[in-house]
Amino acid sequence: MTFLWVVSVIVKNVSIVDLFWGLGFVLTAGFYFLKTEGSGPRKVILIALVAIWGFRLSLHLAWRNIGRGEDFRYKQFRKNYGEKRYWWISFFQTFLLQGILMWLISAPLLGAQYYGQNRSLGIFEYIGIILWIIGFCFEAGGDIQLAKFKSDPANKGRIMDKGLWRYTRHPNYFGDATIWLGYGFLCLSSGSYLPVIGSLLMIVLIIKVSGVALLEKSLKEKKPQYKEYIEKTSAFIPWFPKKPPAQ
């Protein structure tokens, strides 16, 4: 993260930190894999799942953001703090903070690989894998559907309410949370319980801090028609849309 901060100062773009969020967990899980004993099936399954998730997320964000300049959030911070101060403030506010969060959130990735290497695969592993598959389908599927929707000029200014977006306003965030719940079950399967706090922390951040809550606030301000979408569509957990009230 310190290296990324140096690069961000050179290119004057803090947004690059977002591109490496997924890759950061791939590197972290890989480090844990190399530094813990054994290479049992749980370790192999976990590192494979993290790699697929992390690389896809980073590639998607790179495809979506490269060439579009700095994200509006960081532009606002840069404006608030001033160009002469923000270059070093960004290290503590963004890069160091995300590095610490990555370390804490990755706890189940360590617990699943450090403990219980002699245990055979059990019910918790299968639950974790199923949750991961469901989450990945929602996250990747939601991103693909939204990208296709935005690529059509006729949809400019409209609200995406088709496909997975018909059942939840945030299929990608629901998918991400479900994926981390899956990692939590893989950790539980090793007999390690405390590190699952990392998965719970990630889910709280997704729902209450940097994900759903932040995006909902922005969309309500930018798109008045979003209110109608809120009234008929589940906020997070997928469910059938509500029928409009009879006139």
- Give me the number of domains the chain comprises: 1
Can you give the pTM of this predicted structure?
A: 0.92
Does 157 map to a domain?
yes
Does 246 map to a domain?
no
Does 243 map to a domain?
no
Does 242 map to a domain?
no
Tell me how far apart the alpha carbons of residues 138 and 170 are, in angstroms, rounded to a whole number. Answer: 9
pLDDT band at residue 1, thresholds of 50, 70 and 90?
very high
What would the pLDDT profile of 7-45 be if each residue is shown by its tens digit? 999 999 999 999 999 999 999 999 999 999 988 999 999
Domain ranges, residue 132: 2-232
Tell me how far apart the alpha carbons of residues 165 and 202 are, in angstroms, rounded to a whole number. Answer: 22
Does 247 map to a domain?
no
Question: Which H or E run contains 127?
Answer: helix 123-151
Does 237 map to a domain?
no
